[in-house]
Amino acid sequence: MKPSAAVRRRAQRVLDALAELYPDAHCALDHQTPIQLLVATILSAQCTDARVNLMTPALFARYRTVSDFANADPAELERLVASTGFFRNKAKNIIACCRAILDRHNGEVPRTLEELVELPGVGRKTANVILGNVFGVPGITVDTHVGRLSRRLGLTEHDDPVKVEFDLMAQVPQADWTMFSHRLIFHGRQVCDARRPDCPGCAMNRFCPKVGVDRTA
């Protein structure tokens, strides 16, 4: 359902406040190429970006191209990514994903959401990270921070990431989708913690319907 003009105006105020707080928000995963960001994003599932950034220098020195990852020895790749958790499944997905890129896209990371989500281990969140940060295609990335803050700020009532994504897409101008995601993530990491949000010191608390009522919503 299309949001009302009042809802869109409120979302714009939230957007403007976040832009003032975090003008330099950016993707926190270190990368130099599309395949590096794709691999790093897969590794970031159930893991912090900081932890991923600690191990990717060695990983990217060992595997430089899509073909390198596609032909990686599973045991060696598992060992290199072990510190990110769920390493067997992540290594399997990285290899399968890169083989699919070789087979279907001539070794080039695809540039559309539809093609990206068809790759093994790639969902809408990962696809939007790639689109927004590599190819300049606006996308809303709904990770745990974006989902949590969107609910706390009254921008959605949904828990399902796809439903949250579509709610935000309807409220936020398309050109702002990528930066809006980064700014929510920055605020979630620095202020609006999942368990201990700094509500009294939060510059966004004027937008938060549940401040003082339910801080863990």
Structure token digits, residue 143: 């990770």
Three-class DSSP category at 28: coil
Query: Could you say which of 49, 90, 125, 176 is catalytic?
Result: 125
C-alpha triplet 215, 216, 217: angle, nearest 5°: 100
Q: Distances in Å between the alpha carbon of 211 and those of 6, 154, 166, 188?
A: 21, 11, 25, 15
String of DSSP letters for 141-182: ---HHHHHHHHHTTS----SHHHHHHHHHHHS-GGGHHHHHH
49 has catalytic annotation: no
Give residues with Cβ within 8 angstroms of 206, minimum separation 6.
Answer: none
Amino acid at 178: T
Cα separation, 198 vs 131, whole angstroms? 32
Query: Could you say which of 143, 167, 176, 214 is catalytic?
Result: 143
198 has catalytic annotation: no
Structure token digits, residue 93: 């997905």
String of DSSP letters for 61-82: HH--SHHHHHT--HHHHHHHHG
Q: Distances in Å between the alpha carbon of 154 and those of 122, 149, 206, 207, 211?
A: 28, 8, 11, 8, 11
Q: Which residues are catalytic?
A: 125, 143
